[in-house]
Structure 1
Amino acid sequence: LDASLGSETCEELFTPAAPHIQMALSGVEVISNGSGSHHQLRKLNTRMDLIRSATGKCGGVYMYANQRGCDGGRLYYDGCACIAVNGEIVAQGEQFAIQEVEVVIANVDLDAVVGFRGAFQSMAVQASAGDKYPMIHVPFRLCPNDDVSRIPYSPCDIRYHSPQEEIALGPASWLWDYLRRSGASGYLLPLSGGADSSSTAAIVGSMCQLATAAAVSGDEVAVADVRRIAQIDENDPLPCAKELAHLLFQTVYLGSENSSAATRSRSSALAAEIGASHLDVRIDTVVAAVVAFFRSVTQKTPKFRVDGGSNVENLALQNIQARIRMVLSFVLAQLMPWVRGRSGFLLVLGSANVDEGLRGYMTKYDCSSADINPIGGISKGDLRSFLRWAADRLGYPTLAEVEEAPPTAELEPICDDYVQTDEEDMGMTYEELGVYGRLRKISRLGPVEMFKRLLHEWRDRASPTEIAAKVKSFFYYYSCNRHKMTTLTPSYHAENYSPEDNRFDLRPFLYNVRWPFQFRKIDQLAGAAD
């Protein structure tokens, strides 16, 4: 017998009784895994630990291959094929790239596997006591005879990307794959100058950098895709990243009387740094027309809260602006290629983060309603870290100014004694939202158990009564806004606590917002703790 080869499939690597264990006990030296493992922030560490562990205890060669590219939906498969020998990685492919195929090779010494397994007696005892896998004998030699010119590969350091790099590369690769397969001629983004839309713009800029780098390196598929999507003649030179962005990325600042000069300036500056074709649009005439229509129907005129209006009027006037921006975005996406003398259509990008989706801090059918959303599975905290990183590493310095500015929707009038901010509107911080999301989605905690957990974790930052109020506030808004999850824009999957109903959360979207039993129990526990 020259050598033996076995295989396990995809998620079997992650299971408690993984097939590779019994294969190794049956004497299989080489185990392969043809996987379809999707990207998720910080997931590669877990994957590589499991691959190393697969041969670290039992010895052997583990060949791991993974898909790469968009699956036609919300997932991006991030490649990173690798080969491990006796618990050490000897070869590793790229994790993110727009190329669909990459071949990873390594010379390995199967005698080293035999020696590794023979070093401890307990493995032989378990192997003799267990059932053996059935073998199929094939007339083929895997190993050359005494070929000393083939030097086995030495262990190498595993290459990991930081979370900021993952945000720059994963969603960017997904966007490019989506664009080239969809038949669209580019993307349109309502660019407000805030953290979320600016992060989305930077990711599109990263996409253009990846695509042009691959084309310049000679990748024939990338060259053909760039020319087709950007509508460049065969004899014209390939564009640089900024030139490509100008051809396929349209940004628009949809300002109103409530918008600030600072956000308008940041929007324009960032678009210029990326190379996008940019529009600066005022929507006040359209807003006024909608308000005038309502007045003609009801003979009543809603007012903002600062002008003496009720909360209902104040919220309605904000929602009018938000929804008009969605309508205008789709109008521009359909007609701007025609305006610029180009064929095709643009896909509208959304830019609501995962925490806002979880809380429901968005207007239904506003600019969060789009064709796809590259940041819908990314937390606000990770996005802010990404902005600081991307300002330098991607070459978009305006992102540093964006990160320093307080998040605001700019839907209410700015006054000397009042400036609208997201966290004040929500009644909770983005940091707290991230905690709630992980406890609700990943740990699967309801109101009472979440309160019990936070009673210990937050004991140095708030009293039991304050923690109880925070938990009840979250669950109130979480439940009364669950209906919004049914219409969330398809988003890049980057976190396990994505609230999107269509794939990652099968909970009901109708709850009793009062949570009578649970909130009463929380009050009892908080009273006892006080």
Structure 2
Amino acid sequence: MKLIKLAAGVVNTIPLDWNGNLQNILSCIEEARNQEVTLLCLPELSLSGYGCEDMFYAPYVAETALSQLQEIVPYTSDLAVSVGLPLMLNNKLYNASCFIVNRQIRGFALKKNLANNGIHYETRWFHAWSAGDRTNVKINGIDYPAGDLLFEVAGAKIGFEICEDAWIANRPGRELYARGVDIILNPSASHFSFFKSQTRERFVQDGSRSFGCVYVYTNLLGNEAGRAIYDGDAMIAQSGEMLASGTRFSYTDHYMVTATVDLEKGRLEQMQNRAVFSKTADALMVSVPFQWPEIRPARNQYVLEDWEAKGYQKEEEFARAVSLALFDYLRKSRSQGFVVSLSGGADSSACAALVYLMVELGIESIGIERFKQRLSYIEKIQQATSTKEIVHELLYCIWQGTENSSAETKFSATSLAEDLNARFYDVNINGLVETYKELIESGLDRKLSWDTDDIALQNIQARVRAPSAWLLTNIYNCLLLSTSNRSEASVGYATMDGDTAGSISPLAGIDKTFLRKWLLWLEEVGLGGTLQVKGLNAMNNLQPTAELRPADRKQTDEADLMPYEVLNAIETYGFRDKQPPKEVLKKLELDFEGIYTREELVAWTERFFRLWSRNQWKRERYAPSFHIDDRNLDPRTWLRFPILSGGFEKELAELREEANTPLGRRRIGFGN
């Protein structure tokens, strides 16, 4: 047997936080030493942070990363450690993993395939390295190999697939297999999205099986730079068997996943594997003098986390991902808490519930004392002894009613705030609304009415709520949570500087249909089947409505728009799948056969595409949102669309021709 104890190290980084990132890396190395690990893989760009954006262009960033790397080297006695950093070579920047063995840099593996889709723009800053190429990098007068490298450490061959390298069909692992690789390290910065962990698990497990090797995968953790969330997914597999995996969505700074492996097992697999992977280039073999310590066999145990084994994965992932993102946003911005303009509806109720879950899950993850320590700058929570005592100091809810607000929604808001133990402020803004109306009526020399000024009268109510919420936010030095969801964003069903006002927008990546189901699940089932929010009961029994028109007009969201399930389907087919309106209609007819008429589907399709086109400017102005799936509409990270466009006029004419309905042009919209 040839036994090695190795580990995937997970760290929570912040772009350009040189001291913090370095400390987390050193702490992870110390933990590896305490657990008698001899090979540690740390995530991609863990020294600088992955989300440095255009600061990667600044030469000092790569220079500082290299300087920080040299501070790590002395802490690697009797260890082999991989550390990610940006590396400048010949005035070109590369995404590199430095391999350090026993206090000596042994070389730099350079990323060959750059992520350049979705939220990733790696080709904007980095150059891809060509397979088979190698060069040298000079540090303090010493040349170190860099490029497509394979390291031989005391007889163990160790190669790299850096994040995107493993997601392509012709992955570098094929070349490594042809050279008898024993261990493949995959340092990653792979953003969270729903069910993505299953895809990662497949390519880790399949890679270990196909290449007859040990495969070590590690990832970043937390809300690193504001929008992307990293779940800290880490796993180790060998010869098609998953040996160990870590805890996702942890609130800690760093942790490790370890396994004890027998390299002879993989070598036997390679001897018995008759598959032929042709070599196209020869990587440089870097021989490293080292002595793996003698260790005893250990039992590796791979189990799903309890919450993953119980089903409801999407509901669980949404709660855990966004709650962790809120926690990191809170502490990294050094804010004192959150303000929610709590209307009693689904969106604002979800925001409040997520803050509560942030505290519950944080305490469950790291304990109440460590939770308070990570928020040590918030003095008001330091004497708290329970979740609800902390929530009381971190969550401020404000109800702002008008003459159009109902007793039912007010009860929904107050009962939820009471259940969560949030601070609650009851403010009547009807006088403010009337004051603004009178000012404008005086200037216009006429009365405003619902028959002639419907949208204006709705929007002034939503917009008047923003100053009070911002005032409360400033008083307590908090973050104001914007409450708009993705379904509203797609058609502009939101008042700019009203319900879109906020520092961050936790729901802008999720659709209203799922959100309503999630809130019902949170009340009745809850995270892990136990963590429920019973205060959502009143809200879950309400029909979604903006409550901006008088009660006798019986306003509802879906009457203003269309059924949310149809809206979401149009958005998916039209903008995720990039289909024109007439093709979208064909899909809708299949999905909603016997539920809605063809005429209704045609009308809703036209309405959606017209509203989408005229409201891109609103999506450009939304507060930063969290990325959670491939339906994201954020134009700064995912889906770009021109602010001014032809408005799908030709495509909608083709839709009408296809449907044989003379809809024609008409005014539809919700104002600003």
Question: What TM-score, normalized by structure 2, do the two folds share?
Answer: 0.71
The 2-side partners of 1:155 and 1:493 are apart by 29
Identify the residue that residue 380 of structure 2 maps to in structure 1.
231
User: Which of 83, 93, 101 is 2:246 aligned to?
Assistant: 93
Identical amino acids, percent of aligned pairs: 30
The 2-side partners of 1:67 and 1:500 are apart by 22
The answer to whether the 8 A contact 1:92-1:158 is kept is no
Identify the residue that residue 133 of structure 1 maps to in structure 2.
283
Q: Which moved more, 1:464-473 or 1:479-488?
A: 464-473
Alignment of 1:124-523 (within 5 A): 125-126=276-277, 131-142=281-292, 144-145=293-294, 147=295, 149-157=296-304, 160=308, 162-214=313-365, 216=367, 219=370, 222-232=371-381, 237-304=383-450, 309-310=451-452, 313-335=453-475, 337=476, 345-392=477-524, 393=526, 394-415=531-552, 418-426=553-561, 428-462=562-596, 464-513=598-647, 515-523=648-656
Instruction: Report the alpha carbon displacement of residue 67 of structure 1 after superposing the two structures with TM.
Output: 0.5
Instruction: Report the alpha carbon displacement of residue 216 of structure 1 after superposing the two structures with TM.
Output: 3.1
Instruction: Report the alpha carbon displacement of residue 247 of structure 1 after superposing the two structures with TM.
Output: 0.8
Identify the residue that residue 110 of structure 1 maps to in structure 2.
263
Instruction: Report the alpha carbon displacement of residue 226 of structure 1 after superposing the two structures with TM.
Output: 3.4
Instruction: Report the alpha carbon displacement of residue 217 of structure 1 after superposing the two structures with TM.
Output: 5.9
The answer to whether the 8 A contact 2:368-2:386 is kept is no
Q: Which moved more, 1:175-184 or 1:453-462?
A: 453-462
Cα deviation digits, residues 132-151 of structure 1 (max 9, x gap): 43211100134x45x4x322
Cα deviation digits, residues 475-530 of structure 1 (max 9, x gap): 011112222111111111112222222222221022233x33212222232349xx
Q: Structure 2 vs 1, CA of residues 466 and 409 (structure 1 numbering), >3 Å: closer, same or farther?
A: closer
The 2-side partners of 1:217 and 1:397 are apart by 23
Q: Structure 2 vs 1, CA of residues 232 and 486 (structure 1 numbering), >3 Å: closer, same or farther?
A: closer
The 2-side partners of 1:231 and 1:218 are apart by 14
Q: Which moved more, 1:453-462 or 1:366-375?
A: 453-462
Q: Structure 2 vs 1, CA of residues 356 and 66 (structure 1 numbering), >3 Å: closer, same or farther?
A: same
The answer to whether the 8 A contact 2:381-2:393 is kept is no
1:104 partner SS: strand
Amino acid in the other structure paired with 1:54: G
The answer to whether the 8 A contact 2:411-2:538 is kept is no
Question: What TM-score, normalized by structure 1, do the two folds share?
Answer: 0.89
Higher strand share: 2
1:56 partner SS: helix
Cα deviation digits, residues 34-74 of structure 1 (max 9, x gap): 11111112222222222222223222111111111212221
Alignment of 1:4-153 (within 5 A): 4-121=157-274, 123=275, 125-126=276-277, 131-142=281-292, 144-145=293-294, 147=295, 149-153=296-300
Instruction: Report the alpha carbon displacement of residue 391 of structure 1 after superposing the two structures with TM.
Output: 1.5
Identify the residue that residue 131 of structure 2 maps to in structure 1.
none
Instruction: Report the alpha carbon displacement of residue 214 of structure 1 after superposing the two structures with TM.
Output: 4.8
Question: What is the CA RMSD across the aligned residues, in angstroms?
Answer: 2.1
Instruction: Report the alpha carbon displacement of residue 467 of structure 1 after superposing the two structures with TM.
Output: 3.4
Identify the residue that residue 342 of structure 1 maps to in structure 2.
none
Cα deviation digits, residues 68-97 of structure 1 (max 9, x gap): 121222111110211111222211111112
Cα deviation digits, residues 254-310 of structure 1 (max 9, x gap): 111111111111111111111110011111010011001111211112112xxxx22
The answer to whether the 8 A contact 2:486-2:509 is kept is yes
The 2-side partners of 1:444 and 1:349 are apart by 31
Instruction: Report the alpha carbon displacement of residue 218 of structure 1 after superposing the two structures with TM.
Output: 5.2
Instruction: Give the length in aligned residue pairs.
Output: 499
The answer to whether the 8 A contact 1:89-1:158 is kept is no
The 2-side partners of 1:367 and 1:463 are apart by 33
Instruction: Report the alpha carbon displacement of residue 442 of structure 1 after superposing the two structures with TM.
Output: 2.0
The answer to whether the 8 A contact 1:188-1:346 is kept is yes
Amino acid in the other structure paired with 1:135: M
The 2-side partners of 1:208 and 1:230 are apart by 16
Q: Which ranges in structure 2 are unaligned for 5 or more consecutive residues? A: 1-153, 662-672
Amino acid in the other structure paired with 2:248: Q
Identify the residue that residue 340 of structure 1 maps to in structure 2.
none
The 1-side partners of 2:596 and 2:523 are apart by 35
The 1-side partners of 2:322 and 2:303 are apart by 27
Amino acid in the other structure paired with 1:281: V
Identify the residue that residue 87 of structure 2 maps to in structure 1.
none
Higher helix share: 1
Cα deviation digits, residues 436-486 of structure 1 (max 9, x gap): 222233212232332344354445545555433332221011112222111
The 2-side partners of 1:296 and 1:469 are apart by 39
Cα deviation digits, residues 107-127 of structure 1 (max 9, x gap): 112122122223332x2x335
Instruction: Report the alpha carbon displacement of residue 401 of structure 1 after superposing the two structures with TM.
Output: 3.1
Cα deviation digits, residues 192-232 of structure 1 (max 9, x gap): 1111111111100011113334563653xx33233422435
The answer to whether the 8 A contact 1:351-1:374 is kept is yes
2:358 partner SS: helix
Q: Structure 2 vs 1, CA of residues 171 and 431 (structure 1 numbering), >3 Å: closer, same or farther?
A: same
The answer to whether the 8 A contact 1:89-1:156 is kept is no
Amino acid in the other structure paired with 1:430: Y
Instruction: Report the alpha carbon displacement of residue 158 of structure 1 after superposing the two structures with TM.
Output: 7.0
2:286 partner SS: coil
Amino acid in the other structure paired with 1:261: A
The answer to whether the 8 A contact 2:372-2:381 is kept is no
Q: Which ranges in structure 1 are unaligned for 5 or more consecutive residues? A: 338-344
Instruction: Report the alpha carbon displacement of residue 152 of structure 1 after superposing the two structures with TM.
Output: 4.8
2:255 partner SS: coil
1:105 partner SS: strand
The answer to whether the 8 A contact 1:202-1:390 is kept is no
Amino acid in the other structure paired with 2:649: P
